[in-house]
Structure formats: C-alpha cells, structure tokens
Amino acid sequence: MRLFPLVVALGLAAPVAAQDAMQGEALYGFYCATCHGNAAIGNGPMSPSLVVAPADLTTLEARNAGVFPTTRVVMRIDGRDPLISHGSMMPVYGDFFEGTDVATKAETGQPIMTSQPIVDLLAFLESIQQE
C-alpha cells in the first residue's frame, strides 16, 4: 500500500515537467528570442546591435562538460551574475523574473532559490540541449 503514493507521484512528475518546459518555451519566445533567436542559437534580430554576442543556448550543456549549468543560467537571468551586453544588465525584463519563491536543484544537487518563471525557462532550455 505504501507503493501507491510513490507510483502516483512518479506518474504526475512527467506531465508537470513537460508543462514547465511548455511555459518556459512561451516565456523564451516573448522575452529571450529577440536576442537569442527563435532557435536559441544566438542569432536574434537584436544580436547585431549587442556589444556581446548572445550565447547559443542549445549548447550550454555541451560547453560545460555535459552538465547543464543551472546555477550560472539562473544567476544570469535573475541578475546575480550580470552581463552588460547593450548598455544595461541582461535581462532587459529583469523585473518579471524577480523573486526567490521557488527552490530548484543546482548542478551540484544543492538547492538554489529563484522564481517560477526562471524554473520554467530552465526546463525549456534543458529540453533543447544539443550534443
């Protein structure tokens, strides 16, 4: 009988992750694609005007020895690790991503506090990683 809650929990985990990635994809399209491009390879319509070229977000894991750099991505988006690319901190829409109401797991396994929109973006970015 104790196994039933575990089976239910495991069964519900996959749809939630998929939903987060779908929400993250919508957020990405609205907030990030202008610089990083629709395909997330760094070729958005604003990229030529930036001092620092936008990263290819599909290779974050490959460029980090096969480990998705959760902490670095979270801190770039929320401004704790600012990147001055066009006269202001990235992201331009920082206020939307503010908050520390959700804990997610860093690549080290330790919790990192962030906001739900950033967790959703992480799910999307992890889903588009190329080898």
Report CA-CA distances (Å) from 36 to 15, 48, 62, 103.
27, 11, 17, 26
Whether the pLDDT of residue 12 is over 60: the answer is no
> Dmax over Cα atoms in the chain, in whole Å?
60
pLDDT tens sequence across 19-74: 689 999 999 999 999 999 999 999 999 999 888 889 999 999 999 999 999 999 99
Helix (H, G, I), strand (E, B) or coil at 131: coil
pLDDT greater than 80 at residue 6 = no
Cβ–Cβ under 8 Å, residues 73 and 60: yes
What residue has token string 């629709």? 38
User: What is the per-residue pLDDT across 93-103, written as a single tens digit (0 to 9) for each?
Assistant: 667 787 768 89
Using a cut of 0.95, tell me whether the model's pTM lies above it.
Answer: no
